[in-house]
Amino acid sequence: MKRLEVVGVRVEVPSNQPIVLLREQGGERFLPIWIGAVEATAIAFASGGVQPPRPLTHDLFRDVIIGLGATLTAVELTEIKEGVFYAELLLTSPNGERRISARPSDAIALAVRTESPIFASDELLAEAGIEIAEQAEDEVEKFREFLDQVSPDDFLG
C-alpha cells in the first residue's frame, strides 16, 4: 500500500464530470477518480475548511463514528473492476477492528474530515495511476492554482 494525498477536486471539461485527483506521497504517480457532484462538493468543502450550517451526510457519518467510540484509522483504495473503483474504511472501536466496503468518493470525503490517511494498493496504482513527468508538474501547479480559486459552490447545480 502506498499513501496518497488529495491534490483537489475539479470539474473535467467538456463532460462536466467532477474528478478527485490524488498523488502518491514520495512518488510520481497520480490517481484520478471520477466522482459524483455531491461527493465532489463534500470533498471540496472539507478540503477548504467550509463548515455548512447543518451537517452534510459525511459530517453526520463522521459524528456517528465518533459517537460510537470508533476511529477511522485509514481508507484503502483497493482495486478497479470494469472501470469502477473500490475502497474500504478501516475502523477501530472498543469491539475491535472492522473493514467496511465504501465508494472511494465517500471514503475520501470521510478521510478528509477525520484527517485519516488514504492508501492505494500497489496493483491499483499500477493499473490506474498515471505518471506525470517533471515538465508536466507545471500543469499540476496550474491545477492547484485553479483549486485555490474555485468555490465549492461551483460544484452545485
pLDDT, average across residues 117-135: 87
Residue 157 CA to residue 151 CA, distance in Å, equals: 13
Identify the CATH homologous superfamily for domain 2-155.
Answer: Bifunctional nuclease domain (3.10.690.10)
- Whole-prediction pTM: 0.81
State the pLDDT at residue 136: 57
8 Å CB contact between 27 and 2: yes
Q: Where is pLDDT greater, at 103 or 56?
A: 103
How large is the angle between the packed helices 37-48 and 57-67, nearest 10 degrees? 60
* Mean pLDDT of the chain, nearest integer: 87
Residue 145 has pLDDT above 90, yes or no: no
Q: How far is 40 from 36, CA to CA, in rounded Å?
A: 6
Q: Could you state, in order of their start, the residue ranges of all structural domains in the chain?
A: 2-155
pLDDT score of 68: 93
Q: Name every residue whose Cβ is closer than 8 Å to that of residue 1 and which is 6 or more positions away in sequence.
A: 76, 119, 120, 121, 122
